[in-house]
Amino acid sequence: MRRMIYYGIIFLVGIILQFGWSQFLSFAGLVPNVIIILLMFVGLTCGPVPAQVLGFLWGLSWDALSLDLFGTHALLFTILGYLSGQLSHKWNEGKVINQMALTLFANSFFWVGTFVIYQVFAPGEFKFKVNYIMVVQPFYTMLVAPVLFKIGEEFMIYAQRNGSLD
Amino acid sequence: MDQDFVTHRQGNYLFIFLLAISILLLTTHVTEYVRGIKNFLFYILMPAPSSAARLVNANQKISATIGELVSVHRQNVELTRQLERFSSLENDYRQVIAENARLRALVSFTPPAQKKTLAAQVVLREPGSWFQWLVINRGKSDGVIIDSPVIVWTDDGPAVLGRVGELFEHSAKVVLISSVLSALPAMSADSQDDGLLEGQNGGTMKLSYLAANGKIAVGDKIVTSPLSAIFPAGIAVGKVLRITPSSDAHFQSAHVEPRVNFNALREVTVLVTD
């Protein structure tokens, strides 16, 4: 039960950071993809199951709040959660360079995946414009990643001390 | 969690199950059933981010208030002076309005539906980039309807922000003019050339279907066209950055920089039918 609360808190933090406070992290109209960073963190530290479930829920939330093709984010975040979980205990998540590289890859995968989904599931109906955001945003997300990983690690240590992750 | 609750194989089954649901949602995105799920989730999720945003805004307001107190007195003196001047101007304005109504009646002209303005707060921004949509705290209960025009006030007057795309009881999603879902008739205020302004999901928009022999030039002010069924004519949209020839020899296109600063959107104005 405590573990569920721990994941529930992470879910809420993701929603609040991405949807409520993103305007305070914006730069030239760009917002880092906080949810992808948290997804990588959860996948690396907790394994594929919580990461894919959280990814699915975050994706569903994003789809509900946006005007995009419904299901796009749910599908992509589930896949990203699963893939990051596969690296759990095989990848040193404490190294900043690893955190940045993984986040860069995940955010680039997200944009490529979005493009593919639009082509497959809604050709001609939902327009997808390739622009500078898709190139710049992964790098911006990559720069923010170590900060959120550090906060996440501190929170995880706190949760372990309280027995939430036993 | 892996070891405690599910085995590796069960984890894989769960992954396939979640993928299947996602793909099902993607393939049935047009149905009312999926729209119902989406609206339900929207109502559940909205309070968390909007409350968080309000919390920060409230803190910002407190610190800003202390600084503002210093200049308030000075502004008060200046505004009192201006108020006296505007009182007489308002009197003139009312007389002109009355005269206008009489003249319209004389020529049997039916004016377009009268609009009134409704102030709204931005409660949610798009989480990826800021050029597609946002959510405001006004909805059906405030008289907002689908396609209600949304504008913002800039230093140079009103500017087009977008139109209402999805409507809820107390909130609405606004499709921004920079979104690829947006297309509105616009024209050059200088040369009067008409075109179709399309969003590009980025910092500029494209004004297409401009006549190849038109007089539009770099720096021209772009405003909404009288051809628009949604926006009143003459509201600023942006200015021309560059002009490019179209693949069709009869047309040319212009890249337009929006007047709205998408980085600083807090309050907006919705035009609703009076």
Q: Tell me: the pLDDT tens digits for B95-108?
A: 888 777 777 666 65
What pLDDT is attached to residue B164? 93
DSSP conformation letters of B128-182: SBSSSEEEES--GGGT--TT-EEEEEETTEEEEEEEEEEE-SS-EEEEETTSTT-
Tokens encoding A23: 């305007």
Distance from CA of B176 to the nearest CA of A (A): 11
Does residue A165 sit within a domain? no
- Tell me the C-alpha distance between B106 and B109, whole Å: 8
Tokens encoding B270: 């919705």
DSSP conformation letters of B203-266: S-EEEEEEETT----TTPEEEE-TT-SSSPTT-EEEEEEEEEE-SSTTEEEEEEEESS-TTS-S
Q: Do A64 and B201 touch (CB under 8 A)?
A: no
Per-residue pLDDT, averaged over B233-241, amounts to 91
Does residue A164 sit within a domain? no
- Tell me the C-alpha distance between B272 and A54, whole Å: 40
The answer to whether the Cα torsion of A55, A108, B9, A71 is positive or negative is positive
pLDDT beneath 50, residues of chain A: none
Does residue A20 sit within a domain? yes
Reduce the DSSP state of residue A25 to 3 states and report it. coil
Per-residue pLDDT, averaged over B65-78, amounts to 71
Does residue A47 sit within a domain? yes
For testing the chain B interface, which of A33, A67, A107, A118 should be mutated: the one with the most B CBs within 10 Å? Answer: A67
What pLDDT is attached to residue B224? 92
Q: B-chain residues within 8 Å CB-CB of A59?
A: 22
Does residue B27 carry a pLDDT above 90? no
Would you list the domain boundaries of chain B?
2-45, 115-273
Give the number of domains in chain A. Answer: 1
Residues in chain B, overall count: 274
Which residues, numbered 93 to 112 in chain A, qualify as contacts with chain B under a Cβ-Cβ cut-off of 8 Å? none
What pLDDT is attached to residue B59? 61
Reduce the DSSP state of residue A29 to 3 states and report it. coil
What pLDDT is attached to residue B2? 46
**Which residue type, as a one-letter code, is found at position B77?**
V
User: What residue numbers bound the domain in which A104 lies?
Assistant: 2-154
Q: Does A130 touch chain B (CB under 8 A)?
A: no
**Which residue type, as a one-letter code, is found at position B4?**
D
Angle, helices A48-65/A34-46, rounded to nearest 10 degrees: 160
CATH code of the domain occupying B115-273: 2.40.10.350
How many beta carbons lie within 10 A of that of residue B82, not counting itself? 11
Here the ipTM equals 0.84
Does residue A163 sit within a domain? no
How many beta carbons lie within 10 A of that of residue A11, not counting itself? 20
Does residue A166 sit within a domain? no
Q: Which of A104-108, B50-54, B163-167 has the lowest mean pLDDT?
A: B50-54
Q: A-chain residues within 8 Å CB-CB of B27?
A: 121
- Tell me the C-alpha distance between B222 and B233, whole Å: 11
Does residue B174 carry a pLDDT above 60? yes
Give the CATH number for residue A122: 1.10.1760.20
Q: Does A45 touch chain B (CB under 8 A)?
A: no
